Structures are given as structure tokens and as C-alpha cells.
Amino acid sequence: MYTTDESMRIEQESHLKLLHEKLATAVGALVTGEEWMRALMVSARLRAYSAMNGVLICVGLAEQHAQGLVPTDTPTMVAGIKQWNSLGRTVIKGQHGLVIRLPVFGRYTAEYPDAPEATWRRLGNWERLAPGEVLKRRLVNTKVGRVFDICQTEGAPVEPLPAPVLLTGQAPESLWDGIAAQIAAHGFDLQLVGSAAEIGGANGLTNYLTKTVQVRTDVEPLSAARTLTHELAHLLAHGPSAEDATMHRGIVEVEAESTAALVLGAHGVDTSRYTVPYVATWASSVPGDQVETVMRTFDRVAKTATTILGQLDTAQVGNGLPPGLDRDGHTRQRGASRNGPTTQRATGRTREVVSR
């Protein structure tokens, strides 16, 4: 006979197994260019969530739409029950949560922030820091969580987020300058060329030895900005020092092109006119599990695009959270700091370093 804690653990593992199976089925469908592009556009609107949870949210809402439970299959603003309640809204009776995976963090302590990983000690549930120790959180597990789209709630009105509007061929305002600044910040020199013939028939070229990024400019501004973003994605994710720098060439190009598509999508650009390489071509040629390959690629694309977008001072579509919540899903307080978590010794106010 199981104890209460053991029964809860078994139930949690069962839910996680079913969630993984649902994710595998959804990711398996992303091997077509059309579904891949659709997933990128969803991810552009749900940047507050991981790529994996973005897929699960989209699949969950689509399932409920097919059952006639919700009016749309496209998520717009997503949050948990307590978050919606804090904004004066409640979940409509009869609505079912969209299942996602939530991180479970353990608390670890050491004598100083840069202590070797092996010396960090995990604290018990109610254990406090000793004087002089520092604290950080480390991802140790995952659990099932539930969130709701705004269409599943009612109550206080939520003002729609402004959506950028672009003319055909027009690049989002300040996007070129913002991307160029990020390239320069990484020590690369941006060189403009008159045609593709000058760089071997390509639209853009990143050279890690000479630390240069070359982009053709005999195209419409939007296309040039897309190419520049493509090259920045290479610089961030595929440089010689990158963990997967020697990955399959097809994956490298899919990731760079997809990152550019996601960044443009976050600016309200319809990227359907651009071609993302057929995903099945490279996914099936890479050793190992195809679903895992596709998911790792999608996750890398989402993280790279989020890094780029976070440093741009441009008008962007929402990140998936309703207005009034910060990037961590907490009710935003007036004058609240936007700085990330830091470390401080136990003798003062203790803050945490988050290690994922």
C-alpha cells in the first residue's frame, strides 16, 4: 500500500509521461515546413514560456477548440489561475487548464558564489543559511502545471497590446540598427556589399577568423534586415566556441533562418513569404532520435531569438503574458526592479542565483 507522498509521486510521473508522449507527437509534426513556420510564429507570441511549453500550450488549446470548449485555437495571453486572479480575472467555470511542465528548483549553499560545483550543498526544506554562506537555486526536476489562455477567463478588461504594422518590404523601425549594434558588441565588423556575387552567391556571410559580417544591400530593407538577423544568429549560436559548433550543417542553417523568422515574427512581420528549409531533410539525416533533434533545434532557436529580442529597443508583439505581469509571471509592482537575481551573504538580505 502506497503512502500519500508515494501516491502523489507516482501520479506526477504518470502525468509527466503522458505529457512527454503528447509533446513527442506534436514535435513529430514539425518536420514539415508549414508546421515548423506555424510553431515559430506561436513561439514569437509566447516568448515568456519555454519552446517546449509553447508547443504544449498551442496543442492543448487546439484540442479544446476541436471539442468546442474554447472559441479559438491560437493562444494570445496565457497565465496561471493566481496570476489571472491578481489581474481581476477568473477562470470560466468548466474550462480546463493547458498542461505544461514546470521547473522544480533545489536550494544549494556554499561559502562564496564562485565555489566549485561539487562543494555546493543542498539545503533541507526548512534549513537556513549559516552566517556568511550564499544561496542559489538549481533545477533538479520538473512537475506538471496548468495555465489558461485569456479566452478561458472573464472579469476585468485587459487592454490589447499594440501590434506593429509594416508595409510590404519595410523593415521594423530601428531593427537594423539594433541588430548591427549587437554584432558590433561581439567584436565583429559589419561590411555592406553591393550584390550576392561579392560573397559567393550568398545573402550574407559571417567569418569568424576575420571577425566580419557581410550583408548584401541590393534587396528590399526587410530582406536585408532578415539576412542581418540570420548572421547574428550564426554568431550567437554557431561560433567556434559554441558547444554544438560542429553540428550538422543543415541544422545550422535551419536554426539561423528560423531565428530570423522568429525575430521578425515578434515584430509583426508575416514570414510566410520566406522559405525555411524543409525540416524533414536534415532531421532524418542526423543520427539519434528525430523528435529529440527537432526539439533541441526548436529550443535553441527560441533561446537565441529571445536573447536578440531582449536587447532590441523596438516595438514588438506581446510575449504571451497579459499586461500587468512581469517576465517571471509576477504581478508587476510600480517601481519594481527589472534586474536579474543576484547573490548576497546570509548576514544581509538573501537573494538567489538561479542555475538552470
pLDDT of amino acid 341: 34
Distance from C-alpha of 277 to C-alpha of 280, rounded to nearest angstrom: 9
pLDDT of amino acid 337: 35
State the angle between helix axes of 290-310 and 249-265 in degrees (0 to 180), rounded to the nearest 10: 40
Q: What is the DSSP string of 27-55?
A: HHGGGSHHHHHHHHHHHHH-TTS-HHHHH
Distance from C-alpha of 206 to C-alpha of 234, rounded to nearest angstrom: 7
Q: What is the DSSP string of 299-310?
A: HHHHHHHHHHHH
pLDDT of amino acid 152: 96
Angstrom distances, CA of residue 213 to CA of 209, 229, 235? 11, 11, 9
Angstrom distances, CA of residue 192 to CA of 55, 82, 350? 37, 50, 49
Residue 352, Cβ density class (10 Å: 0-12 exposed, 13-18 middle, ≥19 buried)? middle
User: pLDDT tens digits for the chain (356 residues)?
Assistant: 555 666 666 766 776 677 767 777 777 777 667 778 888 888 888 888 888 888 889 889 989 999 999 999 989 899 999 999 999 999 999 999 998 888 788 889 988 888 888 888 888 888 888 888 888 888 777 788 899 999 999 999 988 766 665 545 788 889 999 999 999 999 999 999 998 899 888 889 999 999 999 999 888 888 889 899 999 999 998 877 766 545 667 788 888 888 998 999 898 887 666 656 556 566 666 666 667 778 888 888 989 999 999 999 998 888 888 987 765 666 655 433 333 333 434 444 333 333 33
Q: Which of 67, 47, 48 is nearest to 259 (CA)?
A: 47
Distance from C-alpha of 293 to C-alpha of 291, rounded to nearest angstrom: 5
Taking CA 167 as the corner, what is the angle to CA 309 and CA 311, rounded to the nearest 5 degrees?
Answer: 10
Taking CA 256 as the corner, what is the angle to CA 304 and CA 326, rounded to the nearest 5 degrees?
Answer: 25
pLDDT of amino acid 191: 95
Cβ–Cβ under 8 Å, residues 307 and 186: no
For residue 78, the surrounding DSSP H or E stretch is: strand 78-79
Neighbours of 174 (CB within 10 A): 13
pLDDT of amino acid 342: 34
pLDDT of amino acid 201: 86
pLDDT of amino acid 285: 67
Q: Which strands form 204-207's sheet, in the order they lie side by side?
A: 189-193, 212-216, 204-207
pLDDT of amino acid 26: 73
pTM (two decimals): 0.74
pLDDT of amino acid 244: 57
